[in-house]
Amino acid sequence: METNMANQDTAFGLRPIGLNGAAANTTGVTQYEIASNNTNAIFQYSPVIPLAAGVIDIVGNANGGTVPALGVFMGVEYVDSSTKKTVFKNYWPGSNNVSVDTNFPVKALVADNPNQLFMVAADTTTTDRATALADVFANASLATATSGSTSTGRSTAELDISTAAATATLFMRIVGLTTDVANLDYASAGVNFIVRFNFHHNAPCSSSDSQTTAASTGI
């Protein structure tokens, strides 16, 4: 009889794992900009949104707020104002924690394919596999969207599995369960779900698509 150990990795944000359907997964990213005076920390694997000023920022609401997601933050490049050297980081520490040469843009790399699938950990127990499986095709919020570790630079966002419901306005669409053997203890927090954004800024307008496109930007 197989006995599952407690789950190993319980909070890592939205980790890209592939694309919906049979499309080739290039793990490609698109370059955007972060305002050089943005004091918000933006962690790797955090959801981000487009702002009216033409820059991106971390989602300020665990349920996404009123602006469709642009994608998930993967890293940043900027020029240090003291050394004049290019700096690469997996997260943006906030302008009050870095020295940025404002003569150069702060470049953000975002996994922004509207068909991108992500792995995310549940914030609490799902009791058993049958209960977890019943949440597939439901929508859900994140337990938090802005938290992260300055040690690893990675998001600590998790899926608020207690919110799973048919409610169309919830941030994430649950599309499956993972088979990661290190995270199959359904009686503990941290079981991994496969999700996609329910509303994506780059999604085409289509009545047959579960996602929508909004022209507005901002938080």
Give the pLDDT confidence of 125-159 residue by residue, as tens digits: 999 999 999 999 999 999 988 999 999 999 999 99
Cβ burial, residue 166 (10 Å; 0-12/13-18/19+): exposed
Query: Is residue 119 one of the residues assigned to a domain?
Result: yes
Shared-domain flag, residues 162 and 191: yes
The rounded distance, in Å, linking the Cα atoms of 68 and 51 is 11
The pLDDT value recorded for residue 175 is: 96
Asked if the model's pLDDT at residue 5 lies above 90, the reply is no
* Residue labelled with tokens 């999604």: 203
pLDDT band per the 50, 70, 90 thresholds, residue 6: confident
The rounded distance, in Å, linking the Cα atoms of 199 and 39 is 26
Average pLDDT over residues 43-60: 95
The pLDDT value recorded for residue 211 is: 42
pLDDT band per the 50, 70, 90 thresholds, residue 54: very high
Query: Is residue 38 one of the residues assigned to a domain?
Result: yes
The pLDDT value recorded for residue 68 is: 92
Shared-domain flag, residues 102 and 149: no
Asked if the model's pLDDT at residue 205 lies above 70, the reply is no
The one-character DSSP state at 189 is: T
What's the pLDDT tens digit per position in 68-119?
999 999 999 999 999 999 999 999 999 999 999 999 999 999 999 999 999 9
- Which among 89, 111, 133 is the end of a domain? 111
Question: Percent of the chain having pLDDT more than 70?
Answer: 89
- The whole-model pTM stands at 0.88
Residue 69: both structure tokens together: 């997601």
The rounded distance, in Å, linking the Cα atoms of 207 and 73 is 28
Whether the CB-CB separation of 68 and 42 falls below 8 Å is answered with no
Question: Quick one: the chain helix, strand, coil %, rounded to 5?
Answer: 5, 35, 60
Provide the 3-class DSSP secondary structure of residue 75: strand
Asked if the model's pLDDT at residue 183 lies above 50, the reply is yes
The rounded distance, in Å, linking the Cα atoms of 193 and 176 is 6
Shared-domain flag, residues 167 and 118: yes
Q: How many CB atoms lie within 10 A of CB 83?
A: 10
Domain membership of residue 170 as a residue range = 15-23+113-197
